[in-house]
Amino acid sequence: MKKYLNFIRDWRWIFAVIGVGVLADQMTKFYAINYWKESERVLIDNVLSLTYSENTGIAFSIPIPAVVLLPLSVLFLIIFFVLMSREFDAKKLGSQVFLGMVIGGGIGNLVDRLMHGFVVDFIKMGSYPIFNVADVLIVAGAIGSVVFYGKLKKNN
């Protein structure tokens, strides 16, 4: 029992970030489905708008059949988790936050694929492809991980 409690204590931030990330992603997608599906909401002309889109492809809407995409998504999460866990230090808050962001974003998009057969995207910035909160979490978490681990290796 003590070993289990230590695991929960050591990993509490990663679980919290995953939970908050998935919740924020799914709540914003629910809002997009129910309020932005019919019309675009322009926030800043030619810069930022909320535009509902159903992404059946992968990142940047690259088309890939769902029968290939679901296993690839799961495989990517497993590979990322294994690679990160080799360098992962549960005692470091940065490790937990950045890894939690990537996993939370991946789970958020995976939930969409399983529930809808596509990922709901709604954030449009200029001519850049439409994306969502999960995509932001994945990219920010990956960049944060690279910077964080780069600094750790440099200091060691």
Give the Å distances, CA to CA, from 131 to 30, 51, 103, 120, 127: 14, 10, 17, 8, 12
In angstroms, the CA 97 to CA 95 distance is 6
In angstroms, the CA 90 to CA 112 distance is 29
Q: Select from 131, 127, 116 the least CA-distant residue to 53.
A: 131
**42 or 155, which is more confident?**
42
Options 10, 45, 112, 121, the catalytic residue: 121
Options 10, 25, 89, 135, the catalytic residue: 135
Q: What is the pLDDT of residue 86?
A: 66
Confidence band of 84 (pLDDT split at 50, 70, 90)? low
Query: Catalytic annotation on 10?
Result: no
Residue 123 is given by DSSP the state: E
- Please give the model's pTM, rounded to 2 decimal places: 0.80
Mean local confidence (pLDDT), 91-98: 82
Mean local confidence (pLDDT), 101-123: 92
**44 or 71, which is more confident?**
44
Q: What is the pLDDT of residue 7?
A: 66
3-class secondary-structure state, position 37: coil
- Enumerate the H helices of the chain as residue ranges: 2-31, 66-87, 93-116, 133-155
**DSSP bridge partners of 29:** none
For the stretch 36-70, pLDDT in tens is 888 888 889 989 999 999 988 766 566 666 667 66
Give the Å distances, CA to CA, from 140 to 91, 147, 155: 21, 11, 22
Query: Catalytic annotation on 89?
Result: no
3-class secondary-structure state, position 143: helix
C-beta atoms surrounding 68 within 10 Å: 10
